[in-house]
Amino acid sequence: MQVRLLDYFRSFLLKAPPYTSTFLYIQEWPEPVIVMRVEELTRFRGEFRARVGFRAWQNSHGTWVVAVPFRLQVPPRLRIDGLLCLNPRRATDYDMMQRFTTEESIRFLFFSADLTEAEDKQVPWPAAQRVQVQRQITRIDATLTGARITSLFDADFEHAKQEFQALFDSLELAGQHLANHS
């Protein structure tokens, strides 16, 4: 599979360590897409187990952090834990959050180390998960005021994200807030 990346995104993936994950918006795919560069793309052509969660947290100053922890178990012995965070005040992040309420799957997109090849896999995102996400977004919406921001940097969010990460490491989230998918 060939995927054309914008230069800044390509640069980010090449500079980041392998298995660093982020969200990617792909016009042709409506589901949330989690992307990462991997060391051996062939390992991701077969089946693997995926657990994905969605959790909203609000700090004492009222700033929300939405965490999407995941764990991939790739045979024979590769385990990848990730924790992506979304800012409900950012328009693009809010759009990604909404995708978790409507789509029946989440897509993982794996790139080769040099970004010349890619493999994608869809994992189920059950109706019960979508309903739970909608409840969390409703709680968030009840406290947010004003228009969504479009800038990349939000100092309040960055501070809240650091607080959140100090309180809950990704392994704790992986064990308590993930749904199993194969």
Residue 98 pLDDT greater than 90, yes or no: yes
| H-assigned helices in 19-154 | 91-102, 127-143
Residue 97 pLDDT greater than 50, yes or no: yes
Where exactly are the structural domains of the chain?
7-181
Average pLDDT, the chain: 90
Give pTM, 2 decimals. Answer: 0.88
Residue 179 pLDDT greater than 60, yes or no: no
Counted residue by residue, the chain has a size of 182
Residue 115 in contact with residue 13, Cβ under 8 Å?
yes
pLDDT number for residue 158: 95
Residue 152 pLDDT greater than 60, yes or no: yes
pLDDT number for residue 51: 94
Counting beta carbons within 10 angstroms of the beta carbon of residue 154, is it exposed (0 to 12), middle (13 to 18) or buried (19 or more)? middle
Average pLDDT over residues 98-114: 97
pLDDT number for residue 1: 80
Q: Which residues pair with 64 in a beta bridge?
A: 58
Run of H or E residues at 104: none
pLDDT number for residue 182: 42
